[in-house]
Every structure is written in structure tokens, then in C-alpha cells.
Structure 1
């Protein structure tokens, strides 16, 4: 079955499951309508204590019903009752929400099939920093056991101040006085990852997480405290095939026997020549990993009088993971290409090539520390006037250190014996087998990948250190005055925030490393390592590479350099660094209204918010020098001279955002909602940088610097403005009883503007010579585009079934979105010329919005009765374009995602329960494509994860 058929099969399964769930609900509807009276007529049921998954779904349905905006939620009255192993996993069970997977877990959230760029996320009502360089909350930093409500606003209202085009995600922790009871709770979970059992010398896939929380009230319920701590010590091994992130369009002819393929250059695009797309390199990677996280959440609530409520809350998380990576790298993906077979889109089906082969090893560690919190004061100044003040702070520091070593093939082995190839380049064949994503790369059988003697030349050592610092100070003031009559109250307020984002990415590389052959031989022998995994990529159909010669990275650094960690370079400044400050001042006015339209109750709100943003972005500029590669192969790098000049770019914008929400209670159990609003989504902080990233075209025989430099890419565009949209929503919701919901929402979004690559010529001094180099950036285009969509939710408990089947329940949610938004490839797509004001057409099709999926489906079946609670969750997300953080990169697509999770709990005795969770039980991998959909770029395999634990509460 080919990839297109696989996608069709997945979509068919998704549609069948959605249809089955909907059919089940429809079949149950007559019984629901006949057997269950309206909620207000159920005093008997009000006396029943509902717990577990049923309680969570009931709370979610009630929240949706009571909110003025269109809202979906996941909440529990108790701490630790959100049914998920992580906040991201929990969110993807909410209607219209789906996730991007990293390391087998849910990370960034997309709402209504729209990427995290179009959403706004807050923690306890405040913006939260992260270490990714974007504006999404890093949900992996927050333990789900210490969160008790998650709310998603699908439509906007003025009191949200900023909001987002797709929606606003609000994560909340409890306030101890509002909680109203003493609770001491502890939980320990053991993790088992079967994939980890294939990694030799590791933990065998075993990990654990422990959580302890305490809530109490003192001094006649005027002071309350809540504190929760968690230690997470798990592992997430991974295996992957990947092509590089730079792809080139090669002309079908002429064939260059021993050099790079002949590039199809932009000035030739209009000649309609055939071309095929190839990356610079291919890599097979095996990863062993450990992941540790310590988290502390705390709150103190003080209520000295009935009119004054003061709350202080703090969140701290420190996460560190360490990866040992072993790579087999074909570093010359464009050299000696012959017998190329490709389709009409330029996607290669098969080819023959020549490449040096490298055994690369790296040790990578990443630490991410989050500190956030705030002080809020709620004061009832009079019977009608309420004033709220809030000050907050959020800081994330992410630091990543990678030590990498390269050992290459040569014309001889490490013993000086000449190989049969008489040069370093080894013949290989690349082909895509039917039904396979991972290409079959067959190395010439005369070359033994597992022979350590063949990897020794051009030893290269790099130490890369990257640091991202994101900090937010914010303050907010709100006042609400109650009125009589049609207008219930009027609210007004303001918000000030200052966000700073700084990063650097520094490389320390020894360019003069030359060692005698005898030393190479000795080190090669003592630093050899057995391949650290069994059955590498065995789940990938067509894969033919299962192991290769690997080396101990610490040993190689120690023996060649005399130290395992050479540290930072002497010069800490770099032209690629970012330094962004964003100051926001916003204000709003909103009125809530309630009345009757004839005999039909009507309520809602109307308001307007004004948001002013000022951006100051600083970048460094420096003259450059050429640094030849010590191997003498003709390649080189560029380095700064050390004389830097600061470039400061400022921009500002003001946006007016009106909104209106109306709810019509057409029947006691039926609501119709209307919403219209203008919304904005800001560029990521990392996309506002003023630095420059230098990209070389690769090794080869160059006649000039201009030929060698592919381009100098801006690592941000400080003058980018928010993406604006006008939005309309219509929702119909039916609430037949506390456990049931049937809703349908149609929505429309019109975007005023988009994003388009633009190229400016900038002068650079290289080796004393002034050279004009094209610098690629992104600008706001004048294009208009739109999205329309349909969102469906059906949930019920089958209470009409005979006992014990009356504990069965189901929830199905589906979102369909259609968009004509376009994002161009930075190299091969349309480009705007600021001099001629013309757009030159590219040769590959554009992508849509980053994170946009046409289909999103979540289906849940649960059994919740007595001491037993069972839940199965199916999630499907169709393919989507995902931009690289920082933007200004080539197009990357993520293939369809289909996962099944399972959760179970058993109450052993009052306050003690046994819990089991299984994630991705069918071992669904993740596949990505570049720069057109269908062109294989990366395959990630993580396997399933299992958790078993026990929880006790008193």
C-alpha cells in the first residue's frame, strides 16, 4: 500500500469511527429524551456523588453551557483528577484540540485544526514564557496531576484582552480556600517503554514519576495553602531516518559525474525545465535518552473579609534530558547523481549517488527551567463595584549543549590499506519501496558499515551551545460595575506587559586538528563501541540499514583534544544572536447584557479592546573571514572578525478588536450562540530577531565567495505585524441531561494579510572584499485568505441500558476546516522583489497555515461505575504544514497522526486507587516531508509507553 492509500485508509477509519460514535448517540437519543427529564427536574440525581471520568465530562458539559463565549473545557473538582499523563494529552481530548507530538508525547496544541501560532495560551490567566522561541505554552513542563481545569475559548470577548485567532487556552490550578477541604494526596507511577528494552546498557525502558500534594485551610477559613511537588524520571528512546533541512531543485540534465548536481536557479524558473528535489545529506540516527523533571506548584490564599481576596501562586519546573546520539551520515546527497527517477512533482523515486559516509556521535543535554507566578487581589469595593489587580512574572531559560564528533571514510582504512573504491566516496542506491516511508538506501556491498577500520579520516570536533531566555513581566487592572436592567454590568480594564527574548547559538570547533595516522589507529581501536541497540528501524518497511560502526564520544574527545568538554569559544558574540523586547499596552471596555426576546431568554456581551505593541530588536553585524577546512577538500566556513556593530530595528502597531457574543435559549435544554469578533495572532518572539544566519552551498570548487554562499538568511523579521482576521461563529447546543451534549458549530475567518518571502541585497565585507549577498526575510503580504469550518461534538452516558452496562459512555468530536491561506517556500517558492515590486513565481506549491489540519477527530469510550473506571481514546489528525521555530525556513509537512491511548483505575478502598495508562498502544510513528508533501524527510519511531501506579488520599 503506498503512502496515499495509507492516508485514505486512515481517513476512512477515522470517518467510520466518527460515524459509529454519532450513530450510537443518535440511537441513544430517544431513550435520553424519554427517560431523562430536564436537569432541573432531577433532585434524586443531585444527591448522587459522581466521580471519575463521568464527573470530568459532566463538569466539562456544565462549563460549556454556562460560559458566555463558545467554550470547551476539561475540569475536575479535585486535584489530580484530570485523566491524562500530561497536560498536552489531556487537552487533545477536548473538542477541536489536537497536538503536535515530540518524543512520543503531546506538546504544542492546535485548535480547530489551526496551528499554535494562531492560538493564545495562558496559565492562571497570565501569559507564560517558554524555551521554544514561540508563544505556545510548553505543556510538558506542567504535571497534569497538579492542574485541575483546562478551558479553551473558541470565540473571543473583550475581557480576554488579546486572545487569538483560533482561540485561547487557559490552564488553571486550584485556589485552596475555594477548594474548601483538607487533602493530602500521593501518587507513584512506574513507566515501561518496550522500545527502551532494545537499547543496550540503558535502563531497560523503566522509569517512574511521583507526585505529592497538600491542601488545607486555617484561621477560620481565612488562610488557605496548596502545594504540590513532582519528580519525573523516565526515558524516551527514539530511532529516526532524516534528510537535511536544506533541499535543492536539481536539473534533470546534464549529469555531473563526480560533483554536485546542476541546480535549477531562480533566473531559469520560467523556462519550464524538468527538475527533481534532493537534500544535502541523509542520516540514520539512534537515540538513547533519560528525562528528568522536578516541579513545584504552590498557592497561598488570604481572605481577611468577605470583600477582599488575595491569592499568591508560584510554579517552578526544572527539566533536563540527556541524549546519546549515534548517526550514520551520507554527507553528500547531491554528488554523482545518476539514474534519477522522479515524478511530476520532482519527488525522487530512485537514484544512484556517491557520498562520503560518516560515523558521527554526539552527546546532547538540554535543561529547561520555568519560574512563574503572580499576586492577585479581588476587592468588592461596594455592592456593585468589584476591582481586580494582578501582577505576574514568568521566565524560561533553556540551555542546550551538544558535543559532536565526525569520523569519515577515506581512500584507505585506518591501517593504511587502500580500499576497493580508491577514494572516500562510496556508491549507494536510494529508492522508495511501495508502502514505505523510509527510503531503502543500499550501500555498495563491498563496503562493510560495521567495520570500524573504515571510519577514521577528517576527524572533526564541535561543541555547540544554545541558550534561550524568555521573560515576561505583566500587570493587569479590571473593574466591574453591576447595573440594573438590560445591561447587567460594565467591565473595563487594562494590561501592560514586557516580554524579552534573547538567544545565542555558539560553536567551538578546532579547525587545525591534524593528527598522525598512528594516533588515529590507536584512538580508533580504544574508542570503538558496540552498536547500542537491537533491531534498529525494524518497524520501518524497506529499511536495509540496521547497524553501523559506532564510537564512544567522550573517549574520542578525551583522546584527540585532551578534554571531554572544550567549553565555550573565546568570542561569545555572534551575528546570529537575537535580542528582542516587546512592550504591550492594552485596554478594553465590555458590557454584559441579559433580557428576553419575547419568551426566549437572551444573554451575552459586547465590547472592544485596543492593543498597542512596540518591538525593539537588536542584532550584530560583523565583517567576515574565510576559514578553509583543514581536510583540504576545497570547502570552507565563514567566521566573524570580532569587530561588531549593533543594528537596532524598531516597529510598532495598534490594533482595535471589537467583539460581540449572543446566546439564545430557544428551549430549556437548547442554546443557540452567535459570535462576531476581530482577532490577532502575533509573530513568534524568535521570528522578530534582527540577526543573520549564513548558509554555505556545500563543499566544491568555487570561483568566488558569491558562488559559495547560497544566501545569508535573516533569522527574523522585526517589522512583522500581527496576523489579523475577522471571525464569525454560529453554534447550536443541546443538553438533554447532565451527561449528554450534542453541538454543532460553523465558523468563518477572513485573514487580512499573509506572509511572503522577500529578498534584499545587503553588502558584506568578506576577506576585505565587499560582496553583495541576497538576504531572505519574511514580510506581511497584502493577500487576503479565509478559513471556514465545522465542529461537531456528541457525548452521552447510556443510562438507559440495564445494569451494569449503564456505566458506559462515549464522546466523539470532529473538526473540519478548509483554508486557502498560502505560505511560500523560502528558497523554491514565490518571492517578492522590493525594488520592482514584482513577485517571481516559484517551482513548488505553497503550503497552508502552519499547523493547519483539514480533519481532526477525537473519540472516547468510557466505562465508569462503582470502583471501576475505564477509558479508551482515539485521536486522528490529518497532515499539516509545520514551520520551523524562527521561520524563514523551507516547507516541512507532518503526515497524518493516528494514536490510541487507554486509561483505567480501580478503587481498592476509600482513598486508595490503582491506575494504569497506555499511550500510543499501536506504536504509531511520526513522518515528515520536505519541501513538498510526499517527499520523505524524516521518520520518528518512539513505540508505546505504559504506566502503572497507586494513588492514596486522606
Structure 2
């Protein structure tokens, strides 16, 4: 078996350079364990109590080894102590999983190269709601301190109440009766961001506090677990974004009459691509999260077991931003002086020079978001006559209330840049020709027909479910247990985003800053803009000088909607144990899922909205098979096969319709755009194969492969033959164009052809003591996955599948002995396309560049003496201050390099320093 393990490890040459040397060394070390273990003489057994990092590794490996399905797991090091700041970061280190950073924090997860919307997240086996516009759970709303661990199912288990196409994450709270006695944990950490105060007066320091308590009563028949976690954390963000790149002198795309005969930039060579606009923003954010977890367990005898789970989280996030925007295109009449160029990917690009006549402006941004998640679950298990019956009732609800607002200021003087240094890899530098913080030349001004604007978001997601099941031990040859039952859930999600514009009550479009409004200037020094006027949106609105009006009403069909789902699942599963030359265990199961869905929304007709709705029902039969063969010598061969699905994105299931029109030629066919409440799910047939070799409790090596053949996908397209009967005539009965048909096309998300997603995964854990007594306490964990797909986002061949990173890798090196703990970890994710939301909440797709996120942790704990139970901890997250980078396609380049990606967004979030103390009792 050593040969089989070694060859796949050698093929991992695509692993990024930062990971490859450690991966190769660790893989080789694991292979040496077999020989080292075989040469060891029999030793006297002794009982050793392992805690901390090594205990968590033991527990996680035990879950993986003993599961019938192919799973990955993370386990808390101790009560109230997962190794990372959020459960998302811990999960992102598992093979085949990757996190997407939002404002610097790991927030949502992709499993096996598919975006978050293709997976399902459970809490204690129950599907969880989300406060966003889709199904994907934002993991940063679940404090790591309140979680006992999480299991990721890569192959389905028919007994799971809900399952995803890419995989299923099941977060677990602790069970108090599993503890040996009373335990408690108090944790306090001080936090600081290395970027400092990006906005004067908004602190870069924060704190984290948590407390956990477990106890048992009534002769260990009653157990109680309580947990509280408080987060008061700063985000200090430096944001820079290029708006668009173009060669405007390219007359193939810009007809000469658009620009009076010449669309080229003055002072710029006609064969050069140039930046057409940008924004530089300093953000300061304060996020406060309070999480509560309660578990009440009752087990008076072996026949009855009752567990009540309670979870509550309130996540409040406030950020302010000071932004400079500069338009530098030919329509503004800009002129370059002393222009310089560089070659970028075979293209000639303008990268320097002075610029006159830019269109510059300042924006003050303010955002307030409050998310609340509540979940309760009651599980009753009763054993009767050889049967174990379970009744599980649960309820969860998520609410979001968010407001994003902005106000504008401009200069009374012509403006430009005395010098520029446009970077293709980082922050570009612009030295302004005027002082953008001088109140003598700055004033509040109207842009885009308004002095400012705000958008108000409200999201409500509610899920109720009932599960009834029974299982029984059997002696039917290979079948040793049956489990079957029924799960019913009702889910409703409502989303509303409305915009309002602000005007001066006087009707003017310009106003000097009111007294007391301006604060100490903010700096955008990372972009060479030394100072900008610092004013607050809410303070301006509180002056009473502005009025609000409804705006952007025609977009309501895309931004106001509701979806209702009723899902009934009947399931049955047989657990298997038999001998096929080697011992084999596993399960074979079936789910029959019936879904009824309804989409509600608005249609924009005759400058007003009208309610519309639609829906459908469908049934899916989902077989699954999991087999694990014991090949001997602690080697397992696993096989999985299943039909899987992912229900459509809820935003796509809206019934809203807009842009309704009717042709004035031919039969006068209708057309519109909107949502599609009749969507079918994504469906796929999946096959998995994994080989695992275990060396003791804390070491293993695994090689796995998977293939998903998608039978149905979802992407935007024209739905032909759409019935528009019942809609008013958009031509208002013009006698010149009588209605000849009520059919036409609706541009919306619809089901289409499939494709494949396939990949390989390598993972290993190494206990240094297995190699040499001198390495006792040292260890390593590493993983790498490589994924490909024939599917393209929205069926556009120039775009990969959303969430697909070709390479995902991670490594952890640790030392733990005599109270000392040290851990350094890094996760890597290659380029991928992701769905992101702008300030107005609208979804767009962007290409996110590769990133390496490195974290460091040092600690020491006392096991005896007056400080027994006390430990101290120092952490540095994002050690290298890794930038977040996106790319975009260039418009109208010189044509020499098609499909070349140009820099988009570049953000720095700073390093996060934490110093804390923990007390366990």
C-alpha cells in the first residue's frame, strides 16, 4: 500500500510554491511512519490524556475514520475553543473546501469547486436559514466559541434531512451528558488592526469575550450547557477599484460621431489601453456580535433521551467610508502630459503622466446592518420493542435590516493630477492638483441628479420542519440495521430593497458645508491622496436641510420578492456489514423528495407595480450508496455513488417581471426580463472513491477522487414561447400595432444542459512522535485538491463555473507539549469567479485572484500550581496582510490579446493581532 500512497503524492506538482515543499516533506513523513511503526518493539500500554490541538486532531480523525460516508471533520480543542476565529476558517482548511473573504473575513464556503449556493448547511442536523438573498449561510454569524465542531458530508447519507449537490456541512453544538463532570471556560482577548484608524476617531481596537458552562444533575440524567460569545471587532479597510479600461481610439467600437470625430484620449497614443476611472476609499467598520447557545439534555434511562437546542445571534455592523472618485475618459475632455506606458500581457497600457480636467468627486458612505438568527430544536428519542423512534421539531428564523447611504461633495476649481502611477498589481497613485480637504473650495454638490441616496434592505427567512423516524437492528445477512422516516419543512423568504434620493429642500444643487459638519480630514494616503473632506451622512441628514423621495421604482421587480417552499422527504436506509474477501461496511439508501415552490414578485407596467406570482411542483428520487472496505493494516477503501441535487437560488425563483415590451414588426412578439418561479433544481449523478491509510490516532494519509455528472443546470437565457396574456399592452392599444400574439421571450434564469465537475483530493496528518521521539509534540496537517469543470457560468464560455478554484490547498504546522502551544497555518485558493454584491445590493460576478492567508498562534497553559487552568494566547491573523484582488475584462483593447484580464479591485485589510487569556475550571 505504500506504493499506492506515494505515487499520487508525487503527482501534486500543481500545488502552489508556498505549499509544495511542506506538502512533499509531510507526505514523505507519513509514508515513513509505516516502516517506523513496523520496527517498533511491543511496548507496555499506558494511559495518556491528550488535550488541546492533538485532542482535536484525534477526534476529527476518529469521525472521518468511523463514518460510513466520505466526510471531513473539525473538532473543538476544548470546551468553547475552536482553533480559529470563526468556524468558516476552520472548515476552509479541510480538503476540497475553500472560503470566500468578504471585507477581510472568511464568510461563505465553496465545497469541491462549487459556489456556496450548491451546498447545504445544517445546525445539529437541521437545515439553517440565512440572512442574505440566497440559501448560503454566512458562517461568520456563528461564533466558533459556541460550536463543538462540524462534519462535512462529501457523499450523501439518506438519513440526513437536507443535502446539497456539492456537499453538506453539519455544525454541532456540544452534548452536556457526554462530559465527565462540571466544566467551565472563560475567555477574553484584546484585538488590534495593523491598518490603524482609517477614519479619524473610529478605533482600530476591539475585544472578544466568551463564557461556557457544562453541568449534570439528578444523577447525570439531566445535562445543561450554556455558552455566550461577544465580539466587538474593528475592520480597517483600504479599498481601491478601477472602473473600466479601454482603448477609446478604437473606432471599431466607438463610431467617430460619438466624440466629434475622435474618441481617443488627448496626449495618449492611439494604440494604448487606458484606465477610464477609479475610486479610492478608506473604510472603518465596527462589528458587534452577541451569540447565545443553550443545550438541555434529559436521559432518565436507556429508553428515553430528549435534547433541546437553542441558538441566538445578533450581528450588528456599522461602517463609514470616505471615497474619492475620478473619471478620466474622453467624454470628460481629459488631457495627459508626459505620458508613460508599460507592456501588460502583450498590450500597451498607459501607466503614468499628469492629467488635466478630470471629473472628481467625494463620497461619504455610511452603512448600518443588523442581522438576527434564532433557532430552536427539540429532539425526542424513545426505544420501544426493539425500535428506536425519533421525533424532531425545529424552527429557525433570520432577519436582516440594513441601510446603505451616501452623500456627495465636489470642488469649485478645475481639478486634475500632477502625477500618476497606475499600478497593475496594487494601489495606483494619484497626486491631486488641488486640496480636496479645503472647505474654501469644497461644497456639497448634486451628482447623478441627487445630493445623496440610500437603499434600505429587509430580509426575512423562516424555516419550520418536522422529522419522524425509526430504526431497528436487524440480522438479515449483510443488513444489520434499518432506518426510515419522513421529513417535512416549510420555508419562506422575503426580500425587499428600496431606494430613496436626497435633495436640498431649497431646490439648489450646491451647498456650503453647514457649521460643525466637517471633522478632521480623512486620508487616502495609500493612493497618494493626502487628505479629503471628512463629513458624515447621518449628521447631514439630521440638519433637516434635505428631503427624501422614492427613486429607481422601475427596479422593484428585481428587488422586491418572496419565495415559499414546502418540501416533503421520505427516506429509508439499510446499514450494511458483509465480507467480500475483506470486511465491508456502509449503507444503501433512498430519498423521495417532493417540492412545491411559489415565487411572488412585482411587474413594472405603465410606470407602476403590479403583483405577480407563479410556481411548480416536482419530485426527485435520490438513491445513495456508501461502502467502506477494510483492506487490513489500517487501510480503508471507500466508494460512494448517489443522485444529488441543489434547489435553485431563491433570488432566481422570484416572479418579478420588468422591461416589458412588444415588437412593432412581424407578429409583434412580446419580451421582458425577470425571475423564474418554475425553475427545476440542479441535478447530478456523483461517484466518489477514496483510499485512506491510518497510523495511530493522529496520523493518516488519504487520496480521493470524485466525478459529478450534472444532468440539469441553471443559467440565464431566453425562455421562448412565454405567455404574456394578462399583462397590459405596453404599446397602450396603439391602433397601428394591434396585438397579434401574446407569446414572446422572457430573459431569465432557466434550466439547461449539464456537464461535469471532477477532482482529486489529497490530505494527510502527521504526528511527529511517530517518526522520532525527538519530534514528540510536533505535527502537521496538509491538504490539496484539484478541480475541473466543463460548466460555464451563465453558459458563457469565457467564464468558469461560479466558485470553481482549480487548486485549493492548506497546511498547518503545530507544536504542543508541556503546556506550550504553537501553530502556523496557511490556506491557498487559486483564481475563481464569485458572486459579489455592490453598495446597492445588486449581484454581479467578478474574478477573484489567488490568495494565501497565513495565521499564527502561540500559547501557554498551566496544568498545576496556583495558575492551574489558566492559559495565555497570542494570535496574528493574515500575517502577510494578503491583498484581496479582482480582475476584469478590458473593453475595446487594441485587439492583439483577446480575453486579457485587467486589474479591478485591490483591498488591504491589515493584520489582526489578538492577545488573550483563558481560564478553564
TM-score range, shorter chain: 0.7 to 0.9
Determine if contact 1:927/1:938 at 8 Å carries over to the other structure.
Answer: yes
TM-score by length of 1: 0.82
Matches within 5 A, 1:388-427: 388-409=390-411, 413=412, 419=413
Q: Does 1:722 align with 2:681?
A: yes
Structure 2 counterpart of 1:358: 361
The answer to whether residue 586 in structure 2 is matched with residue 610 in structure 1 is no
Change (3 A) 1:921 1:888: closer
Tell me the SS of whatever aligns to 1:117: helix
- The answer to whether the 8 Å contact 1:813/1:859 transfers is yes
Per-residue deviation, 1:359: 0.8
What residue in structure 1 maps to residue 232 of structure 2? 233
Q: Which of 284, 309, 312 is the aligned partner of 1:316?
A: 312
Answering whether residue 856 of structure 2 is matched by residue 898 of structure 1, we say no
Whether 2:566 is the aligned partner of 1:583: answer yes
> Which residue of the partner structure matches residue 521 of structure 2?
531
CA contact (8 A) 1:531 1:549 kept: yes
Distance 1:36 1:455 in 2: 83
In 2, Cα distance between equivalents of 1:606 and 1:685: 31
1:601 is the counterpart of 2:583? yes
C-alpha spacing 1:775/1:571, structure 2 compared with 1 (3 Å): closer
Shift of 1:569: 9.0
Structure 1 pair 508–735 and aligned structure 2 pair: CA distance change class (3 A): same
1:103, CA displacement in angstroms?
2.3
Q: 1:351-750 residue pairs with structure 2 within 5 A?
A: 356-382=359-385, 384-409=386-411, 413=412, 419=413, 432-433=422-423, 436-439=425-428, 445=433, 447-452=434-439, 453-458=441-446, 460-484=451-475, 485-510=477-502, 513-515=505-507, 520-521=511-512, 523=513, 526-533=516-523, 536-537=525-526, 543-559=527-543, 561=545, 574-575=556-557, 576-598=559-581, 600-623=582-605, 625=607, 640=608, 644-691=609-656, 714=674, 716-750=675-709
TM-score (norm 2): 0.85
SS in 2 for 1:201: coil
Partner of 1:950: 917
1:823 is aligned, of 789, 793, 809, to 793
Q: Take 2:492 and 2:261, find their aligned partners in 1: how far apart are those partners?
A: 43
Mark the CA change 1:511 to 1:226 in structure 2 (over 3 Å): closer, same or farther. Answer: same
1:834 is aligned to none
Shift of the 933–11 alpha-carbon distance from structure 1 to 2, 3 Å rule, reads farther
Residue of structure 2 in register with 1:207 after alignment: 206
Question: More deviation in 450-459 or 858-867?
Answer: 450-459
Question: What is the Cα deviation at residue 355 of structure 1?
Answer: 5.1
Distance apart, 1:234 and its partner CA: 1.4
How big is the shift at 1:776?
3.6
Cα 1:439/1:186, change in 2 over 3 Å: same
* Shift in Å, 1:472: 0.7
- 2-structure distance, mates of 1:504, 1:767: 29
Structure 2 equivalent of residue 23 of structure 1? 28
Flag the 1:814–1:570 CA change in 2: closer, same or farther, 3 A: closer
TM superposition shift of 1:929:
2.0
In 1, Cα distance between equivalents of 2:640 and 2:329: 52
Matches within 5 A, 1:30-69: 30-35=35-40, 44-45=45-46, 47-69=47-69
Show the counterpart of 1:4.
Answer: none
Q: Distance in 1 between matches of 2:342 and 2:615?
A: 46
The question of whether the paired residues in 1 share the 8 Å contact of 2:380 and 2:392 is answered with yes
* Structure 1 partner of 2:716: 757
Q: Which residue of 1 aligns with 2:267?
A: none
Are 1:919 and 2:877 an aligned pair?
yes
- The residue number in structure 2 matching 1:288 is 284
Does residue 1:791 correspond to 2:761, yes or no? yes
Which blocks of at least 5 consecutive residues in structure 2 are unaligned? Answer: 1-12, 265-269, 665-670, 890-898
Aligned pair partner of 1:876 in 801, 822, 828 = 828
**Deviation of the 1:547 alpha carbon:** 3.8
Question: 2 CA distance for matches of 1:381 and 1:475?
Answer: 21
Q: Distance in 2 between matches of 1:260 and 1:378?
A: 80
- On the 8 A contact 1:501/1:686 being kept in 2, the answer is no
Contact 2:328–2:334 (Cα < 8 Å) also in 1: no
Distance, in Å, in 2 between the alignment partners of 1:512 and 1:114 is: 47
Aligned counterpart, 2:167: 167
Aligned residue for 2:794, secondary structure, equals: coil
The aligned length equals 853
Judged with a 3 Å threshold, the aligned counterparts in structure 2 of structure 1 residues 569 and 846 are, in CA distance, closer, same or farther, namely closer
Q: Is this contact kept in 2: 1:113–1:815, CA < 8 A?
A: no
**Aligned-partner Cα distance in 1 for 2:520–2:709:** 57
Question: 2-side partners of 1:306 and 1:110: how far apart?
Answer: 40
Distance change in 2, residues 1:738/1:420 (3 Å): closer
* Residues 491 and 111 (structure 1), Cα distance of their counterparts in 2 relative to 1, 3 Å cut: same
Cα RMSD between the aligned structures?
A: 3.8
**What do residues 729-773 of structure 1 show as CA deviations (whole Å, max 9, x unaligned)?**
111111121121011001111111333322469888889799999
Q: Confirm or deny that 1:861 pairs with 2:813.
A: yes
SS in 2 for 1:504: strand
Listed one character per residue, the Cα deviations across residues 41-65 of structure 1 (whole Å, up to 9, x for unaligned) are x8725x1001111111111111111
Deviations 1:881-937 (A, max 9, x none): 112469995531111110111122211332211122221111001111235672222
Distance 1:370 1:248, change over 3 A: farther
Bigger shift: residues 462-471 or 353-362: 353-362
1:833 corresponds in structure 2 to none
Comparing 108-117 with 123-132, which one deviates more in the overlay? 108-117
* 1:882 match: secondary structure: strand
CA deviation after TM superposition for structure 1 residue 261, in Å: 10
